[in-house]
Structure 1
């Protein structure tokens, strides 16, 4: 680690110590009160990544680093763990889970063919460490789309996987037919279940296309926001509110906006 890097890290540690001692707001915080703010910071980082906003990524990484240091500070105060234990813990985990780089417990380097084999070995090592299921490491609070993707990826590591994307698409069509069969019927719970099955299958298909389903949906969200707000501007420019327009009139404006190049 360079002197400038270590100095910067220690500077943040010192500032955190000072804030915790002198700032009423920082003194008041607990791991529970920080939780939601940490989630928000993570999503802000995700937004910056989606936009390829490198300046934003740098800033949001700093915000997340502050949260990590904050949790470690509280951990030390509660005599639960220290920053040194946090850092050494992840270092030891990385070394033990990369036997193709650092060697196994016997000092022997394990040969791997590609990145996929690295991921499979990673899951095997996690099970050896005491995990009861390959799915155990998927956080319960993950957004459903991301969670579905992670569950599928982890199942893949033990061979529970379709052979090709055509088989996955057949499953999508099967789930779509099952949803159509129950849609609008009296059993709302069944409709919701079939809808979930269809989304799960579409996420699986996206994975086979090497498309990030969460990112793809977010891009569509942003595209919708852009087109809708442009439609509002055009309506106001004509002296009208959207509520004063018929669906046909709104659709005509939407088509015009859609044909324009999105900035």
Structure 2
């Protein structure tokens, strides 16, 4: 099968999906649930499906990845259908907008700009973004967007990077470590004072400093935490396999023994 035939099959499959979604949203014989949905009501599903795609990718299960990408694609098509029903925009505009943006932001592919590495690609991308929005908002407005639209940990990573780029940066990593020690001490003091509101604020400051440390060492905080969560669950599963009774009935010393046994097995 040549590229043309493959593309034709892809377009037919996409068209079938668009027609199915349109039918689900049709006032004549459509689905009551789909008809009730708004752009806002669908937000949780977009977030959920995006995370499930990530989980499938990390599993390496190609069949699961394809399935989860389909669920995420459905959310894109459904959002566009809701907007079309409201007379705002449609899927054609969505596709055309992103196509034009990709061409515009890749002049080294679709134009005569020459680059030699991915760092230059990123630099050009940011420069073109600024040109697209000549009335650049204040830094605080940019950072507020991340705060509103991203999960807290991802928002902190973005905010940290953008603030550093604007000059809010330590001279060296030793300064970040000093800040970490300072925030850790303030968190402990807040806990000792039993002021939970203040303790929560200090915990946030401590976590934000950890994000900055990760940035200095070029580590991905979100991926690091996902990895820890996964390892914890894997070890817990092994503990449950070893256990001859519910884990809740074991002493803390016995649980520690099972934990170390599971950890040793996973580490090979």
Same fold by TM-score, threshold 0.5 exceeded?
Answer: yes
- How big is each residue's C-alpha offset from its partner over 1:140-175, in whole Å with a ceiling of 9 and x where there is no partner? 142211110111222244343345434323322222
Matched residue SS, 2:81? helix
TM-fit CA distance, 1:216: 0.9
TM-fit CA distance, 1:65: 1.1
**Which of 48, 53, 67 matches 1:40?**
48
Equivalents in 1 of 2:170, 2:126: separation in Å? Answer: 16
Paired residue total: 256
Structure 1 window deviating more from structure 2 (123-132 vs 50-59): it is 123-132
Matched, 1:229 2:237: yes
What is the match of residue 11 of structure 1? 16
What is the match of residue 82 of structure 1? 90
Equivalents in 1 of 2:179, 2:128: separation in Å? Answer: 29
- How big is each residue's C-alpha offset from its partner over 1:113-132, in whole Å with a ceiling of 9 and x where there is no partner? 62452354255336525544
Matched, 1:260 2:268: no
Equivalents in 1 of 2:165, 2:100: separation in Å? Answer: 23
Equivalents in 2 of 1:83, 1:243: separation in Å? Answer: 52
**Which of 203, 219, 222 matches 2:211?**
203
Distance 1:89 1:120, change over 3 A: closer
| Structure 1 unmatched runs, 5+ | none
TM-fit CA distance, 1:41: 0.7
**Which of 121, 125, 130 matches 1:124?**
130
Structure 1 window deviating more from structure 2 (223-232 vs 94-103): it is 94-103
Q: Is the 8 A contact 1:148 1:200 kept in 2?
A: yes
Q: Is the 8 A contact 2:180 2:209 kept in 1?
A: yes
**Which of 194, 216, 226 matches 2:202?**
194
Equivalents in 1 of 2:164, 2:125: separation in Å? Answer: 10
| Structure 2 unmatched runs, 5+ | none
State how 1:18-167 maps to structure 2 within 5 Å.
18-21=23-26, 22-24=29-31, 25-98=33-106, 109=113, 114-118=120-124, 120-122=126-128, 124-125=130-131, 127-128=133-134, 130-133=136-139, 134-138=142-146, 140-167=148-175
Structure 1 window deviating more from structure 2 (225-234 vs 120-129): it is 120-129
TM-fit CA distance, 1:137: 4.0
- How big is each residue's C-alpha offset from its partner over 1:56-111, in whole Å with a ceiling of 9 and x where there is no partner? 222222111111111111111110112222222223334444556566xxxx8597
TM-fit CA distance, 1:226: 1.9
Q: TM-score, normalised by structure 2?
A: 0.81
Equivalents in 1 of 2:127, 2:247: separation in Å? Answer: 56
Matched residue SS, 1:32? coil
